[in-house]
Chains A and B, each alone.
Chain A
Amino acid sequence: MAMNYSDLVIDHFTNPRNVGEIPDADGIGEVGNMKCGDIMRMYLKIKDDVVEDVKFKTFGCGAAVATSSMATELIKGKPLSEVIKLTNAAVVEALGGLPAVKVHCSVLAEEAVKAALYDYYTRKGLPLPEGIEAPCNGDCAHCCSH
Chain B
Amino acid sequence: MQVYADNAATTKVSQTAIDALLPCLTDKYGNPSSIHSFGQAASREMENAREIIAQCLNAEPKEITFTSGGSEADNQALLSAAAAGEKKGKKHIISTAFEHHAILHTLDKLSKQGFRIELLPVYQDGVVRLEDVEKAIGEDTALVSIMYANNEIGTIQPIAQIGALCKERGVLFHTDAVQAAGHLFIDVKAQNIDMLSLSGHKFHAPKGSGVLFVRSGSVPLINVIEGGAQERGKRAGTENIPGIAAMAAALKESCENLDANAAKVSAMRDRLIRGLEQIPESVLNGHRTNRLPGNVNFCFKGIEGESLLLMLNQAGIAASSGSACTSGSLDPSHVLLSIGLTHEVAHGSLRLSLSEYTTDEEVDHILATVPTVVERLRAMSPVWESMQKGK
State the A residues within 8 Å of B (CB).
1, 3, 10, 13-14, 16, 19, 21, 30, 34-41, 56-62, 64-65, 101, 140
Contacts and interface: CB of A to CB of B under 8 A. Distances in A.
B282 to A, nearest CB: 16
The 8 A-B pairs at the shortest CB distance, nearest first, are namely A61-B306, A61-B325, A41-B382, A57-B382, A37-B324, A59-B383, A34-B344, A37-B347
A64 to B, nearest CB: 7
B332 interface: yes
B349 to A, nearest CB: 11
Nearest to A101: B328
A65 B307 contact: yes
Contacts of B314: 14
Contacts, number: 71
B385 A60 contact: no
Contacts of A35: 330, 343
24 contacts: A3-B310, A10-B310, A16-B380, A19-B380, A30-B382, A34-B344, A34-B347, A35-B330, A35-B343, A36-B324, A36-B330, A37-B323, A37-B325, A37-B332, A39-B382, A56-B380, A59-B347, A61-B304, A61-B305, A61-B310, A61-B323, A61-B325, A65-B307, A140-B330
Contacts of A19: 379-380
B325 A59 contact: no
A2 B19 CA distance: 31
B369 interface: no
B133 to A, nearest CB: 33
A46 to B, nearest CB: 20
B381 interface: yes
Nearest to B332: A37
Given A36-B324, A36-B330, A57 B381 contact: yes
B218 interface: no
Contact of A60 (B304, B328, B343, B379): B304
B326 interface: yes
